Amino acid sequence: MTDLKDLQEKIKAAQDSKIPPPENTSKVSEGLNTGMRILTELIGTIGISGLIGYLLDRWLDTAPIFIMIFLLLGIITVFYNMTKFLRGYGQNIGYTDLQNETKNVTPSADKTDNNINEQ
């Protein structure tokens, strides 16, 4: 039995030495997600509103009136949504509260004591 335990400990030690410690990429991925969301809203909203204005101009044979109106509305909408998102408004109900709670949580000593007692 002791040989088996020794072998398991050696295997575990070898595996732990080969696994690099996890990097703290949560802030990087959070920033990347924010940037991609803003970029997508920027391109999508302005593009769709410009397309609607262009199609209305072609259909009604009015030169650049509707395209200018819809592009302006699209730009205003993008900046409104961007400020709303960056300030944290409009997220799911309770989501920002949950984020704040999880950032302030520290591991309790009870959990570590239970793990020691179980072994």
State the Cα–Cα distance between residues 59 and 67, nearest whole angstrom.
Answer: 12
pLDDT at 32 (0 to 100): 83
Question: What is the DSSP-derived secondary structure letter of residue 92?
Answer: P
| Domain definitions of the chain by residue range | 32-85
pLDDT at 102 (0 to 100): 60
Residue ranges in the chain assigned as alpha helix (H): 2-18, 26-60, 65-87, 95-103, 109-118
pLDDT at 11 (0 to 100): 85
pLDDT at 12 (0 to 100): 84
pLDDT at 46 (0 to 100): 93
Low-confidence ranges of the chain (pLDDT < 50): none
